Amino acid sequence: MELRLDGRAAIVTGGSKGIGKAIAAAYATAGARVLITSRKADQLEAAADEVGHGCTWLAGNAGDPDDAERVIATAVDQLGGLDILVNNAATNPYAGPLIDIDGPRWDKTMQVNLTGPLVWTQLAWRQAMQTGGGVVLNISSVGGMSTSPILGAYDVSKAALIHMTKQLAAELGPGVRVNALCPGLVKTDFARALWEGDGEARVARSYPLGRLGTPADIAGAALYLAADTGSWITGQTLVLDGGGLVAFAQG
């Protein structure tokens, strides 16, 4: 089977930089018609130009149901359908113990990281995939499989996204496949506070593969799951973390 997406239409949320942009580039290079979306039009325009291959863009807030409906309707119209949805957009407005988080920042975390992917998937299902089939890919995190002294709320949202992936895969098969990717620490602007300075070397030493991830590492797996190579895979969570979860505990 070839890693090709010829004739398929894809939306990537949070597609203006980092992992989202890398996935969009991988899909477009593989022949897909790709629309990227995020909040800032100037970043989207620059990203679409960089991706090339006819990549288009439309600004929208992934946590706003009205924006989601508008973007998906536009994509279905402009791209001639919708075959692939990548729920990549995420936020992390709070760092600290979960027990101390305030209501507004908890709500925002869940709205973007969990409710958002559900709403986008519902709309993709209703507007295209219920009759035409397709692929949904949720970008979760290894944080959803462990605990953290400062990222508890974010990790709870990503743990719930892993379970939601399984639930939707059970509900939407056989026409729609739903899977999740769980990156470890990837060198993106979103995660900069975790790797900048001496953080990169420190974390890399704890990974059996000896380095942090790059957006391209995640994009390759995203392409594999969206293409025919993933045609018998649904409800699964693929960890991409340089071996971090199996590393020996540091004494």
| Inside any domain, residue 174 | yes
Which of these, 179, 181, 180, 203, lies nearest to 191 by C-alpha position?
A: 203
What does the pLDDT read at residue 167?
Answer: 98
Residue 101's pLDDT is 98
Asked if residue 4 belongs to a domain, the reply is no
Residue ranges in the chain modelled with pLDDT below 70: 1, 191-196, 250-251
CATH assignment at residue 182? 3.40.50.720
Q: Domain for residue 85, yes or no? A: yes
One-letter amino acid at 97 equals P
Asked whether residue 47 is assigned to any structural domain, the reply reads yes
Query: Is residue 251 domain-resident?
Result: no
Cβ proximity of 150 and 93 under 8 Å = no
List the catalytic residues: 154
Per the CB < 8 A criterion, the answer to whether 91 and 112 are in contact is yes
Answer whether 139's CB lies under 8 Å from 19's CB: yes
Nearest CA to 160 out of 109, 210, 214 is that of 109
**Looking at residue 201, what is its pLDDT?**
81
**pLDDT, position 188:** 78
Q: Is residue 248 assigned to a domain?
A: no
Tens digits of per-residue pLDDT, 87-118? 999 999 999 999 999 999 999 999 999 999 99
**CA-based nearest residue to 24, from 40, 39, 7, 44:** 44
Specify the 3-state DSSP secondary structure of 137: strand
Q: In what order do the strands lie in the sheet with 176-183?
A: 56-57, 33-37, 9-13, 84-87, 134-139, 176-183, 237-240
Residue with tokens 């996204």: 161
- Give the DSSP per-residue string, 61-77: -TT-HHHHHHHHHHHHH
The count of domains in the chain is: 1
Q: What is the pLDDT of residue 66?
A: 98
Specify if 60 maps to a domain.
Answer: yes
41 conformational bin, left if phi > 0, alpha if psi -120 to 50, beta if neither: alpha
Please give the pLDDT value at position 1: 66
pLDDT at 192: 58
- Domain hosting 74: range is 9-241
Tell me, yes or no, whether 159 lies in a domain.
yes
